[in-house]
Structures are given as structure tokens and as C-alpha cells.
Structure 1
Amino acid sequence: MSIEVSRRNVLIGGGVAAGTALFGSTAHANVPARGGIPDVDVHVVVIDGMRPDELRADLTPILTGLAAGGIHYPDATAITIAETLPNHTAMMTGVLPARSGVPANSVYDPAIDKTRDLDRASDLKTSTVLDRVRTELGLTTAGVLSKRYLHGLFGDRASVVWDPQPLVPGTAHAPDNFTIDALVQIVGANSPRLTFTNLGDVDRVGHLDLTGPSIRIARTAALQNTDNQVRRFVDFLHGTGRWNRSILIVLADHSMDWSEPARLIGLDQPLNADPLLSGKIRISQNGGADLIYFVGQDGERAEAVERIRRIASGVPGVESTHLPSEFTLGGNAGDVVAFCAPGWRFSDPTPLSNPIPGNHGHFVTLPIPFFLSGGHPALDGGRSVSTQARTIDVAPTVAALFGLGAPVGGWDGVARTAGVALNL
């Protein structure tokens, strides 16, 4: 059951009901990949919202051990904007938002004159490795996505798709325990060659942790539980003899920053106070980033953009403003993108619009953990690679492991296969 509530406007409340719902094809086509590693199973596991400084033995021992025994990219980042939807899209498409159509979680939709989440399958404008591995190589793929809007965006691109249940009221995500239950069940029943899993607890709890600027009590508990859920999946792979054919790509989609209650930024009022801009501004709030749209006459746009940037740059807490083209965000990202400074958050149109202390989207939330691990003999682990990896590199890495070619137009990301012996 979908809960139509904005994640930024409510706090967690209520309990959850037990149960999972699985649907989709159970067919397994045991077709060897063309090149790459013929007998590999690839599991992409996203620890949503995890910071790289949270990958440490006293907090996340399982993840830290996997990173140490694998191929670790300590200088890894999300793509801008550091939000969930664009970075999961980057992972599975390997292309930038101007090509995928997903520049942020939320955009202004002129067809309805409102902002909305990009949570429809039709919002994703290009292919993914989930559907290409399935259709071009004939291999079973699976999507196990804990967040309702991720489930909606990726639709039925995978062979097997989990409908996330139960959903936590107010966050529209399934807890990690249930997500790993679903992943284990799907892998056990269908033996997919590629899985894509989102574990949402660290992000959802992090948004709501009022102690975030200091000791992060709830966040710590969530990290420890998620680490334990990853252990459950690794134990399952060992116990079923799958570990030695598995490569895990583990990363986050963005990290997290916390602000104190008074560090709110509102751009709606100062922008609409300008005579040229008044009534002609729409803002799509994305926590640490505001996408600003001018809806007046095209002949006024150049002057409007200049005024938007000048006014927004003078508001306390705004770190910088940019044209969407600077990050290849595409046309639906608006006319100006504003980013907040560390320790601040946007709250538009009113101070009550974003009450949560934990936010991301701005530059300080770009760094992420990123590593390859697993028991496959092609993986020569125990190394750290200084090259900067990005979320957009996941799809070309997956494709290289399976011997799958680039999509039409090529990759915008890079295959991160240092330490991996291809063509075994």
C-alpha cells in the first residue's frame, strides 16, 4: 500500500504490519554472458544515506570487513544533486540526468503547476542494466527496493520485482529486516544473476535524528542494524554455496548532513519580493538543494535568472547558485539550482515545509562509501584504489562484469574493475 505523504513534511509515527509481497517472473535463463565473467552473480547493495566516515569497525564491522577484503574506493561521490532518485538512476543507467530525465527527487511539473517526486516509470527516459541484462543476455534480474518511490520509478524493468511491504507510516519505506528477507527469498527462489537492493533505514532514521548535529543516537542504532542485515545476506550466500560466484557492489547514494532548528533557508519570500519575479517563481525543495523555476515570459528569462542568482546568493546559508547545465541536469531541473552550506537546510515555501534535521542534496553530502567485495575468484581483494568512483560508475561496472556493451550514446560513467580479472 502506498502512502502519499512527503518524506520531508512528517515524522515517523505508528507501527508496521508484518509481511512481504513478491511478484514477477520466476524464469531463470542460464545463458552465459558474452565476455566478462560467465559464472558471476552481481549484487548491488545500496546503504541509503550512509556517510564514508561511518564505514568503521566499531560501528559497521561487517561492511568495514567487506570493504577491507574487497576493492575499496575511499574517494567516492554521488552525482549532483545528492538525492536518492537521481543517484539510484545513475547507478542503473550509467548516464547523467540530462539523459536519464531524473535530476532530483522532486521537480516542478508545469503540466500540473505543482512540484512532484519523479516516481513514475515513465519519468526514467533511458535503459538500465536491470532490463538490458534481462533482455540482451537473457539473464534473470531482480529489484529489491525498500522505498516506494524507487519501486515506482524502476517499475518492472527487472525480471523479479519486490513490492516493498510493510511500509513505515510517514516514510513510505520497508524496514531493512524485511528488505533483506525479500532479497534472500528472491535469490533463493530465482537465482538472479543481477540484483539491485536499496536498504532505506539509515537514510530514513538519519533524516529524523534530532541528535544528528551531535551524538546521532538513532542513526547509530540504524547503522548497526543495517550492518547486521548485510551480514544475514552474506551468511545466506555462504550457506547456499553462492558466495564463491558472487561479486557485491556496495555503496551509498548520498551521505547526510544535519542542521539545527534555526538554520533554515527560505527563498520563496525574497524571490517573490522582486517585482520581475513576483508570482512567477516555482521552487522544488530537495533538502540541501532548491530547484528554482521561472514561469514568466521567455523574453524575461535571462534577466530573471540573473536576479534569482543575485537574490538567492545574498540569503544567509546559501553556499552557491548554479545553472543546471553546469551539472548536466537537463531541462526539467529549472533555471537555477541553489545549494545550502553545511549545517543548513532549505525550507520552502514556509519554515514548516521542512522540519527534519537531517538533509542531503548539497555538496557536503556528495562523499559516499563505495567498494566491491565477494567470494568470486575473479576478485583480487584487499586493496584500496585512489581513483574517484561515482554512483554513475555502477552500471558500466556491472556491464563489464557481464560482458554487456554500452547503451546508445555510450556511458557517462566508467567501469571500476581494477583488481577484477575479466574473461575468466
Structure 2
Amino acid sequence: MSTRLRLLLLPLALLLLAPAAASAQSFAENPLVYVFVVDGLDGDRVDQGRAPYISRLLAGAEGARSTYYRESRSIMVAETNPNHAAMASGAYADRSGIPGNSFAIQQATEDEDSCAPAPGGGGGVTVVSGENANCLQAETFFQAAERQRNPADITTAGIFGKPKLGRIFAARKPDNSLFADFLTAPCESQESSNPSYCTERIEDFPATGTALNDREVMDEVIRTIDQGVPADGRTKLPNLTFVNFSQVDQAGHATGAGSAYDAAIGMADTEIERFVETQ
């Protein structure tokens, strides 16, 4: 593990900055930023020691310097879609365009996920999931990085355990390429209509559908570190990576906050440890 790893932990998000090279100067110039979202994690469980490795980092072990804001809260509604939109954009639900995992739109839409108007228009109220990039009204950091950057400065990646997060953050530029330099999420079927960024390594969770398990998600994170990602016509190391771990949320939906939920927290904690130990 690098002794110069820096960490910020929130109840729902883990932000790590690791040096891209050995010198202090290179760290200042080229930080590697990883935002790990342990979906559905109750911060009280961290305080109770159910995530022992994260707790050790918070205590300053492993050479870590950390900040833990215990009073942080999810935005309301406390669901996956609006909170990931808020973290990626800095916008509350009234401005992000995604106020919940489902919401009503005062028009007919092209399908149950989209916020785009149906061909030919139409009135009435439509309930949608908002699981489409056209629902986002606030600029995400994927888009902001593309707009503001010198291409050599920032390489972005989104690695999501849930298929719907891939759809939400699959916004495209005028040339039809993704704003995120690299994006992956599980496919939901074996159909040819699956998006090009999805992966077929999936697990079925009865409560919420298909997802990558947390180990598979971390495998992909580590692969991008070892092999880089295609960006700007060459292979580059991502230095702004947004990651979703889904298993804690899956366990909570399936069984409530019991032993299976705590076991899932332990598995996510193990994956964070594996990540840190690769640095």
C-alpha cells in the first residue's frame, strides 16, 4: 500500500486520491481520484465497526490521512438514482432532473425510462424511471471535465454495478461518443440491443434485478489501473473514476438490515482493502 494514500469517507461515498508517480510534485500535478459509492450503506454501521478496514483508515492506520463527516445525509428521496445524480453533478433533486427512482412528467414520453417527449407529442402525465441520460438536467463531472479540460489533464471512468447507472451516465457528445472516457455497467439481457459499454458478467439479484457483484466491480477498477482505458486516441490511466458497489443495497432490499446486510458491508469493506493494497 502507498503510504501517501489520501482518503475521504462519507456514509455513502468513498473518495481516494493516490499518487500517479513517486514524487510529491507529481502527486500534486496528477492525483488519481476514485469515488466509491457503497450503495445503501448505513453510516451507523461504519461507526459500529461493521467495516473494519474502512474504520482503520479513518483512525489513521495504514498510513492514511482521512476526514469523516458523520453528519452527512443522502438527499431526499434517499434512493439510488437521485443520489448518484447529486454526487455526479452537485445538484439537488429539484435541479438534477432525477428527483427519485421514479417520478411523473407532464407529457407523454418516448418510453418508460426516458424524459424525451414521445414522437408526435401528447399530453397527460407519464411516470418514468428517469434511467436515461436525457433526464439529467445538471452537468455531471463527466461533462464538466470534457468542457473544461485540456485532453491531457483528465481521463474519466464510470464503473457501475447497476445497469441503470450506466444508462443515466451514458450522455453523448455531438459526435455520439460518450462524455465519460470509459463507461461500463452490466448488460440486462443477451440481446444485440445492449449498449456497447455493457459487460455480460452479471448476477441476478431477485429484489432488484441484474448487477455486477462487488468483486467484479473492483476487478474492473483494478483492470483500468493495470491496463488503462482508451481515451483521446491512446491508452491512458483514468484519474477521475466514479464507482458503484451494489451488493449492500441488494442485501438491504432482499432481507432488511440484518445479517446478510452486514455480511455485504463486510464484502464491500474487503474490496476497498483490496483496492488500497494494489496502490
Alignment TM class, shorter chain as reference: 0.5 to 0.7
Q: How does 1:167-186 map to 2 (within 5 A)?
A: 167-170=203-206, 171-186=209-224
| Number of the residue aligned with 1:236 | 278
| Contact 2:96-2:136 at 8 Å conserved across structures | yes
Offset of residue 184 of structure 1:
0.7
Which is greater in Rg?
1
Is 2:61 the counterpart of 1:71? no
**Which structure exhibits the higher relative contact order, with contacts defined as CA atoms closer than 8 Å and separated by 6 or more residues?**
1
| Number of the residue aligned with 2:136 | 124
| Contact 1:60-1:227 at 8 Å conserved across structures | yes
Percent identity reads: 29
Offset of residue 235 of structure 1:
1.1
Is 2:209 the counterpart of 1:194? no
Q: Once the two structures are superposed, what CA deviation does each residue of 1:326-373 show, in whole Å capped at 9, x if it has no partner?
A: xxxxxxxxxxxxxxxxxxxxxxxxxxxxxxxxxxxxxxxxxxxxxxxx
For the residue of structure 2 that corresponds to 1:172, the secondary structure is: strand
Q: Following superposition, which runs of at least 4 residues in structure 1 exceed 4 angstroms of deviation?
A: none
Residue of 80, 88, 103 corresponding to 1:92: 88
Give, in whole Å, the separation in 2 of the partners of 1:59 and 1:176. 17
Q: How does 1:6-155 map to 2 (within 5 A)?
A: 37-56=28-47, 58-69=49-60, 70-109=66-105, 110-111=107-108, 113-137=125-149, 138=151, 139-155=154-170
| Number of the residue aligned with 1:302 | none
TM-score (norm 2): 0.66
Give, in whole Å, the separation in 1 of the partners of 2:220 and 2:253. 24
Amino acid at match of 2:221: L
| Contact 1:142-1:192 at 8 Å conserved across structures | yes
Is 2:199 the counterpart of 1:163? no
For the residue of structure 2 that corresponds to 1:227, the secondary structure is: helix
Give, in whole Å, the separation in 2 of the partners of 1:196 and 1:180. 12
| Contact 2:33-2:239 at 8 Å conserved across structures | yes
| Number of the residue aligned with 1:203 | 249
Runs of 5+ unmatched residues, structure 1: 1-35, 238-424
CA 169–209 in structure 1, closer or farther in 2 if over 3 Å, else same: closer
Offset of residue 57 of structure 1:
6.6
Amino acid at match of 1:142: A
Aligned-pair Cα RMSD in Å = 1.9
| Contact 1:100-1:125 at 8 Å conserved across structures | yes
| Contact 2:157-2:180 at 8 Å conserved across structures | yes
Equivalent pairs counted in the alignment come to: 198
Amino acid at match of 1:219: Y
